[in-house]
Structure 1
Amino acid sequence: MSAERAEPLIRLVGVTKTYGEGGVAYQALRGIDLEVAAGEFVAIMGPSGSGKSTVMNILGCLDTPTSGAYLFRGIHVEQLDRNQRALLRRHSLGFVFQGFNLLARTSAQENVELPLLYRGETAPARHAAARAALARVGLAGWEPHTPAELSGGQQQRVAIARAIVTQPDVLLADEPTGNLDSQRSHEIMALLVELNRKQGITVLMVTHEPDMAAYARRIVTFVDGRVARDEAVPERAL
């Protein structure tokens, strides 16, 4: 067996991002080097304007770096065209947002089925996968309910089910507890930890809350477009 270190799932090398040109140019990222191994749970922190959201957009294939390299399983993502990035996003990445982003007049099951609809899955396959995903987040039996009939915590669970229904390699969570009270926030974080540990999903989460970041196994802190700290976090019991 080779003693060589495994290739990281995600690797950023000298990544910069500049918005605008000339005198009004703003450099959001100033040479980011970052590696994430498969199965990690990484929290990304930093003050407003530190670059944490910019780097998440790049990792999620929603934006491209101005310079530097972004490798996903060894593939240079920054060299892919728009359609190729969309395919990577569709097949390998799941997204969870602060605002849930659920369709208001659509049932929990139909919300969860949406990514599979875009992938062209058959109706029976969509139904089965959505029910299974909802069960994984503790919402078996809630399939016909609309967002208005669910609590904030339940809505975020539906959003997480929608993100994992495609069995992604990486779950990208942007302030996933930002609209929740303290109890629901801890419930959602415990769910993310369970998905990470038991399902092996790599989790990258932006948060400004230290008590939420403490659920991760590693905290990367951004300041002024650079990585200021990269620290391991002791594993916590659920």
Structure 2
Amino acid sequence: MSTPAPLIELQAVTKTYGQGSTAFQALNGVNLRINAGEFVAIMGPSGSGKSTAMNTLGLLDTPSSGAYVFNGLHVENLSRDERALLRRRYLGFVFQGFNLLARTSAQENVELPLLYRGEPTATRHSAAKKALASVGLAGWEHHTPAELSGGQQQRVAIARAIVTEPTVLLADEPTGNLDTHRSHEIMELLWRLNVDHGITVLMVTHEADMAAYAKRIVHFVDGVVDSDSPNPHPAALQHVPAAEVA
């Protein structure tokens, strides 16, 4: 039986910023394969290339050389507009800063990606309400960010990321602004989105206890993948009844 093609593949990807004596090699021949439905944590010290790799995977930056294949499509050959279209259709983003509009309700914040797509009002309302409910915020649709806790604000940000039903969710230090309790709540939510909804989750983090929720942990050092290991016992499983895991 043939092995299915990966959803995402980086092939000998390099990324250089600047030129000449000031040039900085952020990625130095990265090879990485990610299958549909995986939950991958990307770790590494400052300057290791993990953030550049995430920006590349998220179509926010392009390789200097090498190939990036997304669902069979060579991304490095696409125009800026084509990459933007691919992002809107397949990717959702969650950042350390919640990036919510301050004077706008949770419902309206979540609707924004659908507004950019030109979806009709009724469709936006319904999808946003469903997304908020899926992150545990049913009944909070009309609250502004100032009326929500940090954990709730990040839940709104996650609802906004998944309202378009993306194939891949990219999370960059999603718990960086949260206390320990709220951090674990957000990680369990990301784990549920992966397990229950089949969303492929790629997460950059410097916190080992957050990475422990992933099914696979990739370490970057000096612009290359230093290690790539499965995590057979994700932390979220500690909170799931044995019958449900089975």
Match of 1:214 in 2: 212
Match runs of 1:25-104 below 5 Å: 25-104=23-102
Match runs of 1:55-204 below 5 Å: 55-204=53-202
Between the aligned partners of 1:116 and 1:190, the Cα distance in structure 2 is 26
Match runs of 1:11-22 below 5 Å: 11-22=9-20
Between the aligned partners of 1:4 and 1:196, the Cα distance in structure 2 is 25
Identical pairs, percent: 73
Corresponding residue to 2:226 among 187, 206, 228: 228
Between the aligned partners of 1:162 and 1:78, the Cα distance in structure 2 is 27
Between the aligned partners of 1:226 and 1:37, the Cα distance in structure 2 is 19
Residue 67 of structure 1, CA deviation: 0.2
Q: Which runs of 5+ in 1 are unaligned?
A: none
CA RMSD of aligned residues (A): 0.5
Residue 231 of structure 1, CA deviation: 0.5
CA deviation vs aligned residue, 1:163-186 (integer Å, no higher than 9, x gap) = 000000000000000000000000
Between the aligned partners of 2:95 and 2:113, the Cα distance in structure 1 is 15
Q: Secondary structure at the match of 1:191?
A: helix
Between the aligned partners of 2:169 and 2:227, the Cα distance in structure 1 is 22
Moved over 4 A (4+): none
Match of 2:242 in 1: none
Q: Secondary structure at the match of 2:159?
A: helix
TM-score under structure 2 length normalisation = 0.95
Between the aligned partners of 1:79 and 1:104, the Cα distance in structure 2 is 38
Q: Which amino acid aligns with 1:209?
A: E
Between the aligned partners of 2:100 and 2:221, the Cα distance in structure 1 is 32
Q: Secondary structure at the match of 1:13?
A: strand
CA deviation vs aligned residue, 1:162-210 (integer Å, no higher than 9, x gap) = 0000000000000000000000000000000000000000000000000
Between the aligned partners of 1:54 and 1:38, the Cα distance in structure 2 is 21
Residue 235 of structure 1, CA deviation: 3.2
Between the aligned partners of 1:234 and 1:160, the Cα distance in structure 2 is 25
CA deviation vs aligned residue, 1:4-57 (integer Å, no higher than 9, x gap) = 000100000000000000010000000000000000000000000000000110
Corresponding residue pairs, total: 236
Q: Which runs of 5+ in 2 are unaligned?
A: 240-246
